Structures are given as structure tokens and as C-alpha cells.
Amino acid sequence: MAHESEMSTEKLPLLPDDVAAQWLGSKLGHKVKSVSLTRTKFGTGTKLFYFIEYENEVADPSSRPSHVCVKGVFDPVMLKSQSWTLSLAQREADFFAKIAPAIKHMRYPRGWWGGRSDQQGIAIMSDLVHEGCTFPSEAGSYPLETVLEGVYQIAGLHAQFWGKSQEDYPWIDNNYDPAMLAITETWDSVVREPGRPKLPEYLMDGARVRKAQKKYYSRRNPKFRTLLHGDTHMGNTYFTADGHIRFLDWSAFHFASCFHDLVYFVSTMMTVEDRRTHEMEILDYYLSTLHSLGGPKLDRNDEELMIEYKKSYLTNLVWPVCGYILQPKTTVDVFAERTIAAWVDHKVLEVVEAEP
């Protein structure tokens, strides 16, 4: 995995046509004969998929990729209307350059290079589809066994960076909270649009929700701080050819409360009924795995822990207000339903409001 400096001074490709054979070869460390664009996937980050032919043979073909995904901001129209997508691309490039090589327990796409400039952030990864990987269906749900395999990896990431903060990694700022505060600004109007998921009356009050959101961000308990993936919902998972769950989209990692990753993952992966049935069993498994992989010994009989756990469900607040241009309606509606059920079950808003 090639590393890159803090801020690349070279000009990185800004349009798909700029991704030339010579440029790709320089990043992969091999002379490239030709590259062909096989498909493109647009979103908050654009994914360009290429088939690469090299000039010469190597003894070990797995030491270099034949099919890659080049992810960055390659859509000038999207970038102009959603300028925050640049910071996501730069953050993911940083992940592959600086953090990925050290991660022990959490599994993610193989990265070949990451770099950023003031106008771009690019990550070169293996093409998962070519590797036989599959992706969850838009409104899917999964059994306990699958969820626990994901929880094991989340606990492993958290154990490895337990107690660390931005003081230890000054370049990892919290880009997540400001993005979520921007998204909830339109709460009052979005939740009243025709065809949106039905919310309980008290959640129609955008001012109340945002006040709780701000209080949660300012009062997280440092006792549970670690490095988060930050965006562990089901849509950022995939399955290997042999059926193992892995995590995608590392553009939101930051330091915050460990339960953010846990509840965001579990509550989007399972039906409301399954989550209610297995939730405490999953929490116990997370806590025991965290300890076995080098983290602290924690217990859910600790009232302080359960308060932090319940508060962390505010992580999910993107779904009731998420625009259908950002995510498919089927996904948004199902995740909103799962979110609201968890908020009601755990009296999440009330728990945050009751804090001193």
C-alpha cells in the first residue's frame, strides 16, 4: 500500500478523462499498457471502475490489481451543489494512506493508494464486484449471526484505538457532527412532506430534536471515546464471495462515543422485532469482545454506560430527514422506521434532555 503525504502538491485528476494509464501506473508502481473504464457509479463520491493491462509480467499477480475502483469527486455539478462531498473524498483518501495499514480487526476493501489535493481526494481500491462480493438489498435485514460478525469487527477497531483522541491524531477532526447539524436544519419541512415516514407527534418538533442533537454532541462521555468508522449503517457494508461481512465507505471516521458505531450498525441491519429480541445479547457480546481484543472491561449494569448507549441512538437522526436524492426511498423509509422504533423504545430524546 503506497502512502502519501499530508497534502499532495501534484495535480490530481478532476474528471474521469484525466485518469490516464501513466497516472494510474505511477500510483500502483507498475508500468501500465492500457486502462479501460468498465463502469461508473455516481453518488456523494464518484466511483470509476477500470480494467488494467500492464507492460510486463510479475511472479505474483496478486501483488498488483487488474480491476480497480478509483473513488473521488469527479462530478463538477455535484461538487458545486454539495461542496461538503470534497471533505468526504479527502477523508477516505486519508484513511487508505494513513489508517488502513494499521487496522487489525476490521475488514474493508483492499486499498492500493490514497492521496489528496486542495481540490480532490482519491482512493484506489480493488473492484469488489470483480472479487465476487455482493451488497445488501436496499431494505434488507440480517440474522443475529451476521450482525455479530460485524459487531466483532467494530469492537476490534474500538479496542485498538480505545481512549485515543484528536490530541493523538491532530489531523483527524470531527467532520461528522457539522454535517449532521446541516442535514437536520430542514427537519420541520422535510418530515411534513407527503409520502415521508410517519413520526410520533413529539418528533415533528424540529427545534426539540435539534436541541437534543446539539446537547448530545456537547455532552458525550469521554470514558467511552475511541476511533469510529462513523457511518456503519447497512448501506456501507458488503459481503465477500464466501459470505463474510465487511465495511465500506471510510469517509466519516472520527473520535467519539463507541456506541455510535454499534447502535447505527445493529439498528439498520435488523428488523425492529429482531433488534428488540437480541439487542442486549448483542451489547453483551460487543462488551466482552471489546475486552478480549484489548479494550476495557465494561458492564451494561453500569447506569452511566446505559445512558451513553441510549443517547448514541441520536446518531441515526439522518434517516427521518434524509433526502430521497441522497438515498433511495425504500432505504430511507425502512431505516427511518427502525430508527424511530429505537428512539421510542429507549426514550432517547428524554434521556438526553434529562442529562444535567
Q: What is the pLDDT of residue 5?
A: 44
Give the least confident one: 81-85, 180-184, 243-247.
Answer: 81-85
Give the least confident one: 5-19, 247-261, 326-340.
Answer: 5-19
Could you read off the pLDDT of 201-247 as tens digits, one per residue?
Answer: 999 999 999 999 999 999 999 999 999 999 999 999 999 999 999 99
Q: Tell me which CATH code domain 144-354 carries.
A: 3.90.1200.10
Residue type, 343: W
Domain coordinates of the chain in residue numbers?
16-126, 144-354
Measure the CA–CA gap between 142 and 245, rounded to whole angstroms.
Answer: 11
Question: From residue 282, how far is each of 2, 126, 242, 275 by CA, in Å?
Answer: 37, 31, 23, 9
Q: Tell me which CATH code domain 16-126 carries.
A: 3.30.200.20
SS3 letters across 73-106: CCCHHHHHHCCCHHHHHHHHHHHHHHHHHHCCCC
- For residues 287-298, average pLDDT: 98
What average pLDDT is seen over the chain? 94
Examine the pLDDT at 177 and tell me if it is beyond 70.
yes
Measure the CA–CA gap between 350 and 344, rounded to whole angstroms.
Answer: 10
Name every residue whose Cβ is closer than 8 Å to that of residue 53 and which is 6 or more positions away in sequence: 32, 33, 34, 35
Examine the pLDDT at 128 and tell me if it is beyond 80.
yes
Examine the pLDDT at 1 and tell me if it is beyond 80.
no
pTM over 0.75: yes
- For residues 274-283, average pLDDT: 98
Cell of 347: 426514550
- For residues 325-334, average pLDDT: 90
